[in-house]
Amino acid sequence: MFKKIDHIGIAVMDLKRAVELYSKKFGLSPFKTEELKEQGIKVASFKLGDSWIELLGSTREDSPIGKFLRNRGEGLHHLCYQVENLEETLEVLKQRGLKLIDEKPRRGAGGKRIAFLHPKSTQGVLIEITEG
């Protein structure tokens, strides 16, 4: 079902500082930043091998990342696994009794089609899936 880790999402209070940590201190490059305006999120993505590290900052208090930071503080936010077929995987997981946040794929960072599974079904880990 899961082919590989596509990326790891990390919630940060200060995106600029986090970008400095990963670029200057960890020496990772290249990276790209984008703003998901409707979600109130800013994302800086660093390529690492054939996976990515996604640093997630909030531009609004009521954004999903803003809420996460308030409730849980900074740290690991989600894991994203690559799958063969997003619709099919969502259907299978639903049949297997998993709770889904997204019943249908939507657009995530980089314009990729993604969907989230509910952490209540996955021992507290927020799982994103994408076709990669």
Can you give the binding site for Co ion, defined by CB under 5 A? 9, 54, 80, 128
Indicate the residue among 95 and 122 with the shorter CB distance to Co ion: 122
Q: Which is nearer to Co ion, 19 or 80 (CB)?
A: 80
Q: How far apart are CA 129 and CA 115, in angstroms?
A: 5
Q: Which is nearer to Co ion, 51 or 97 (CB)?
A: 51
Output the residue with the shortest Cβ distance to Co ion. 9
CB 5 within 8 A of CB 81: yes
Shortest Å, Cβ 44 to Co ion:
12
